[in-house]
Amino acid sequence: MARYDELDAYRCVYDTLLMTYREIKAVPREIRYTLLETLRNDLVDVLLNITEANSTRDKVPPIKDARKILQRAKLRFRLLKDLKCISADQYETFSEKTVSASKQLTGWQRYAASHPE
């Protein structure tokens, strides 16, 4: 079993979370404490699900949960772009990171479903 913090999906989501703190600055208060904070909480939840999946025998349920939450995060990034809180370039970067993590989680889910421990 690999350490959870060495998994590519974990690193992608963790980097995305860090970027939300470092790069998203000029956000109106009503968006900062609703949409942005919820987005950050979602990313933390994805990280927790990846950690759980890495340490349990039945990996599929936490991976499925992580993928669902990641879909919500993608929607929130789109809203931030449409509300002009992040630039198109930032949105593209966030989108690439979340798509990459989603693909990795999908592959892990398929593997875990076909190779139960």
Q: 90 lies in a domain? A: yes
1 pLDDT more than 70: no
What is the pLDDT at residue 25?
85
Is residue 78 in some structural domain?
A: yes
In a domain, 6, yes or no: no
Q: Provide the mean pLDDT of the chain.
A: 93
In a domain, 2, yes or no: no
The number of distinct structural domains making up the chain is 1
pLDDT at 3: 76
How distant, in Å, are the alpha carbons of 1, 36, 57, 85, 112 from that of 40? 27, 6, 28, 15, 27
36 by Cβ neighbours in 10 Å (0-12 / 13-18 / 19+) ranks as buried
Which residues of 4-67 form beta strands (DSSP E)? Answer: none
Q: pLDDT tens across 17-69, in order?
A: 999 999 998 889 999 989 999 999 999 999 999 999 999 999 999 999 999 99
Domain that holds residue 42: 28-111
The pLDDT value recorded for residue 16 is: 96
Other beta carbons within 10 Å of 71: 13
HSE at residue 87, side-chain half, CA atoms within 13 A, is 5
**Residue 57 forms part of a structural domain:** yes
pLDDT of residue 2: 60
Per-residue pLDDT at 116: 76
